[in-house]
């Protein structure tokens, strides 16, 4: 009789199991299969199933008692904003980010704030000693009376402690360091992460305790471990930033209790993460006004307008085809902008390298930054700076070189005025409907050619 296989290969994206290693999974992901013990994957799957298993059958929607969506104040208004107004009771949030970015710091700050306001909080760490955590708490002012630290890696002990202590909030730092003794595979494996996250979810939901789980990311910035965990939890936050500048940006990629367009901005300091309320000022602190290749522009991050700088560098390339590289601007968008500039202004960038950088690690989602990026590239290529350093430039660039209006230019103008800018160059479509009565002067341009004439020095 053929021996039953002992191991199985599991896709870390979707959890699909295959008896042999596959290059591509049925979910379309490449190179995601990890070897696991059969018994472990079965146990992990049964834990997952238990999570959704309500004993009762279908219920009338009108008769279901509503969950009280009361939210807890994290004491960090930037975090409240990203979460949609605070932490929803009984919700599970995953926070991911590169090593050393400040995940443990922000969660310890949050845990201390919640402990001061609402009562007992458990900070469960599988990767640091109590002394290390105390050291951090000393530094960041996190010595709250009701904050308890528990260093443990075994899931079953952790669950027992949570049930017994019944905190209002708990933190798990990190899910990759936990292991369930019901499985034999190592912590951090697909089955372990899957089972641990599912069990934490079950306890959090059953007892109505809000919780945060830290998750590590791999080199490419994806969550290390199964994607399935991201589907499981209520909210997925990412913490990122330019380490050198100390800026940290928090974004929600998924939020079952709010929108995902708001960002939170922080500065890493000796005393922990400090909130940046006036992000435009911080972003403009190191701007290089009046230098070629630098253009001041504005973007919306969620509901707030931000004034920031976009920089470009154009240099001769050693290769016959120049490099196109951008930070903060989508590479497809950059290629399109370069193509429009070539076509409409009769330029040739074929053997030129083009670099574009949006300041402060901000990655604007809209297309309102197109015109500023185009002017920055032209300014870098021609060596002509923007004529008026007190001018900001906004607008979307169309394929025919026309400028398209962007939503909410008045609020951008308000922010620009607050920051001391006197003029705003924007698409004619926006100019025609201009209602702003402030001091800022609005100048409309129909297409890229007109915008260049109105912005760059002769």
Ligand X SMILES: Nc1ncnc2c1ncn2[C@@H]1O[C@H](COP(=O)(O)OP(=O)(O)OP(=O)(O)O)[C@@H](O)[C@H]1O
Q: Which is nearer to ligand X, 139 or 245 (CB)?
A: 139
User: Shortest CA distance to 406 belongs to which of 368, 442, 375?
Assistant: 368
DSSP 8-state assignment for residue 451:
H
User: Shortest CA distance to 267 belongs to which of 256, 259, 279, 257?
Assistant: 279
User: Shortest CA distance to 296 belongs to which of 390, 363, 387?
Assistant: 390
Q: Which is nearer to Mg ion, 104 or 113 (CB)?
A: 104
Shortest Cβ distance from residue 177 to Mg ion (Å)? 10
Contacts of ligand X in 263-292 (CB under 6 A): 268, 270
H helices present in 233-269, as ranges: none
Q: Which is nearer to Mg ion, 124 or 445 (CB)?
A: 124
Shortest Cβ distance from residue 406 to Mg ion (Å)? 39
Interaction between residue 244 and ligand X (CB under 6 A):
no
Q: Which is nearer to ligand X, 101 or 424 (CB)?
A: 101
Looking at 15, 86, 90, 102, which residue binds ligand X (CB under 6 A)?
102
Interaction between residue 142 and ligand X (CB under 6 A):
no
Tokens matching residue 67: 């969950």
Task: Please tell me the count of residues contacting Mg ion according to CB under 5 A.
Answer: 1
CA atoms of 154 and 388, how far apart (whole Å): 62
Shortest Cβ distance from residue 99 to Mg ion (Å)? 8
Looking at 93, 96, 104, 176, which residue binds Mg ion (CB under 5 A)?
104
Interaction between residue 99 and ligand X (CB under 6 A):
yes
Which one of Mg ion, ligand X, none is in contact with 81 (Cβ closer than 5 to 8 A by kind)? Answer: none
CA atoms of 352 and 90, how far apart (whole Å): 54
CA atoms of 93 and 309, how far apart (whole Å): 33
Interaction between residue 100 and ligand X (CB under 6 A):
yes
- Which are the contacts of 171, defined by CB distance < 8 A and separation ≥ 6? 107, 108, 110, 111, 121, 122, 123, 124, 211, 212, 213, 214
Q: Which is nearer to Mg ion, 104 or 192 (CB)?
A: 104
User: Shortest CA distance to 336 belongs to which of 351, 357, 354?
Assistant: 354
Interaction between residue 109 and ligand X (CB under 6 A):
no
Which one of ligand X, Mg ion, none is in contact with 105 (Cβ closer than 5 to 8 A by kind)? Answer: ligand X
CA atoms of 247 and 162, how far apart (whole Å): 34
Shortest Cβ distance from residue 141 to ligand X (Å)? 13
CA atoms of 185 and 182, how far apart (whole Å): 9
Q: Which residues in this chain contact Mg ion in the complex, by CB under 5 A? A: 104
Q: Which residues in this chain contact ligand X in the complex, by CB under 6 A? A: 97, 99-105, 139, 268, 270
């Amino acid at each position: 009789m053929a021996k039953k296989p002992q191991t199985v290969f599991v896709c870390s994206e979707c959890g699909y199991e295959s008896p042999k290693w596959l290059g591509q999974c049925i979910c379309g992901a490449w190179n995601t299969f990890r070897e696991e013990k059969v018994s472990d994957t079965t146990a992990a799957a049964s834990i997952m199933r238990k999570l959704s298993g309500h004993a009762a059958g279908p219920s009338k929607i009108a008769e279901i008692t509503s969950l009280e969506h009361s939210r807890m104040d994290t004491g960090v208004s930037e975090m409240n904003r990203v979460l949609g107004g605070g932490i929803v009771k009984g919700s599970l949030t995953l926070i991911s980010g590169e090593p050393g970015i400040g995940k443990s710091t922000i969660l310890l700050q949050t845990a201390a704030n919640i402990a001061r306001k609402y009562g007992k909080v458990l900070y469960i760490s599988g990767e640091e000693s109590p002394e290390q955590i105390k050291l951090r708490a000393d530094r960041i002012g996190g010595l709250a009376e009701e904050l308890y630290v528990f260093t443990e890696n075994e899931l079953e002990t952790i669950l027992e402690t949570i049930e017994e202590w019944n905190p209002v909030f708990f933190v798990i730092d990190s899910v990759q360091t936990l292991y369930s003794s019901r499985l034999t595979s190592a912590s951090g494996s697909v089955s372990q992460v899957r089972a641990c996250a599912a069990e934490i979810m079950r306890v959090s939901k059953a007892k109505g305790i809000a919780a945060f789980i830290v998750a590590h990311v791999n080199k490419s910035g994806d969550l290390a471990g199964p994607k399935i965990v991201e589907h499981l939890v209520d909210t997925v936050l990412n913490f990122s930033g330019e380490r050198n500048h100390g800026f940290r940006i928090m974004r929600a990629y998924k939020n079952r209790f709010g929108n995902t367009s708001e960002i939170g901005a922080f500065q890493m300091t000796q005393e922990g993460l400090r909130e940046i309320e006036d992000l435009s000022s911080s972003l403009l602190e190191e701007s290089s006004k009046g230098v070629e290749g630098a253009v001041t522009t504005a973007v919306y991050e969620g509901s707030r307008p931000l004034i920031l700088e976009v920089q470009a560098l154009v240099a001769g390339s050693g290769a016959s085809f120049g490099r196109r590289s951008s930070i903060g601007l989508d590479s497809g968008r950059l290629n399109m902008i370069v193509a429009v500039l070539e076509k409409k202004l009769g330029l040739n960038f074929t053997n030129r390298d083009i670099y574009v950088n949006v300041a402060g690690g901000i990655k604007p989602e809209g297309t309102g930054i197109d015109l500023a990026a185009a002017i920055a590239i032209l300014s870098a290529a021609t060596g002509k700076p923007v004529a008026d350093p007190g001018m900001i430039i906004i607008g979307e660039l169309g394929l025919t070189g026309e400028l398209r209006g962007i939503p909410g230019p008045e609020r951008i103008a308000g922010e620009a005025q607050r920051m001391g800018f006197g003029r705003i160059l924007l698409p004619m479509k926006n100019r025609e409907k201009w209602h702003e009565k402030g001091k800022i002067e609005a100048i409309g341009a129909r297409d890229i050619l007109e915008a260049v004439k109105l912005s760059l020095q002769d």
